[in-house]
Amino acid sequence: MNRASLPSVLLPERIVLDKIWGGRTLTARLGLAQARVGETWDCFDRGAGSSARIRNLADTTLHDLLESQRDAVLGAADVDAYGRFPLMLKLLDATEWLSLQVHPDDALAVELAAERCAAVDKAGDTGKTEAWVVLDARDDAELVCGFRGSVADLIEAARRHAVDKSMLETLRARRGDVIAIRPGTVHAVGAGYLLYEIQQNSDITLRLYDWGRVGDDGKPREVHLDASARAIERAAESAASVQAKVVVESEGVELLVANSCFELRRIDLRAPRTLDLDGAFALVTPVEGACVVDRTLLGDLETGLVCAARGRVALRPAAGAATMLVATAAVSRPSIV
């Protein structure tokens, strides 16, 4: 396949995952057949054996495409340390609380892989920096982002199955709010949230506490207390400020998150605009309404991967107005005019 035959907007396959904390919000909104959905993976590349099929490219996988057309897809961005697409995009439907958890940074992820930590894939993985955009929230929904007291006290409470909410920092994030989760931040998604999640391409979750429940097999889910303690201790502070400070870049364009792994923007799309990629790819997702990117229609919560080789694409709402999230690698500074 040559560069000229590569679509400007790739359409990754979505996979749907059942989770014990999932519900029917995504099922209803996306028209899914599953009885219970916890999360969907909307752009993913977990290696040659587990990578999104590109629906408008003869079912070629994203991983295969990177092996043959890396520069055309990624541009100035690079694959991760394991030769995979560097970002992962998910939607989360939390009808019940997710576990209290923490993610490692890149260095600790490598150490845990060498130690054969149960939370790390045998092939290894990067650390996980992530961010959430609240798509919907129940009135009483809340998140855990941080904790009070010492690491030792928290780990001991988890070991005794006695973690109390008074030990945790909580916030009530509402629709449209943005939460940035750095490695080492103790966090949990509460019941009643629908979230967009952009993250490093990592599947490591160090579970601290699971609220006393059991999995679908009737057994308690595994926890990773020693590894969690190490991840927390490496963080700059135990109770990080995670509610993102939104920056207005131009009319209708907000910079939501900027870190060393990715940048995330929100676009209020009421009329045709142009997205200049600045040399790298973009993941584009309408979160309200539908939009046309170049000549590709993206429906509600449908993600398109705009190839770096395209350089610049036209954006327009499909009907009325639309709100789009645009995630890019940190090496580029895209502009929307």
Residues involved in catalysis: 207
Based on C-alpha coordinates, what's the Rg of the chain? 20
Kindly give, in sequence order, each residue whose CB lies less than 8 Å from that of residue 206, ignoring residues fewer than 6 positions away.
Answer: 101, 102, 103, 104, 119, 224, 227, 228, 231
Q: State both tokens at 75.
A: 């541009």
Tell me if 330 sits within 8 A of 259, measured CB to CB.
Answer: yes
Tell me if 102 sits within 8 A of 228, measured CB to CB.
Answer: yes
Residue 80's SS3 state is: coil
Tell me if 63 sits within 8 A of 85, measured CB to CB.
Answer: yes
Phi, psi for residue 176 in degrees, rounded to 5:
95, -15
Phi, psi for residue 184 in degrees, rounded to 5:
90, -5
Dihedral angle computed from the Cα positions of residues 244, 249, 252 and 254, in that order, rounded to the nearest 10 degrees: -20
- How many angstroms separate the CA atoms of 196 and 189, rounded? 12
Which residue shows structure tokens 């398109």? Answer: 304
User: Which helix (H) or strand (E) is 234 found in, with range?
Assistant: helix 225-234
Which residue shows structure tokens 């999995």? Answer: 215
Tell me if 9 sits within 8 A of 313, measured CB to CB.
Answer: yes
Phi, psi for residue 63 in degrees, rounded to 5:
-65, -45
- How many angstroms separate the CA atoms of 174 and 179, rounded? 11
CA nearest to 202, candidates 265, 135, 113, 284: 113
- How many angstroms separate the CA atoms of 130 and 147, rounded? 18
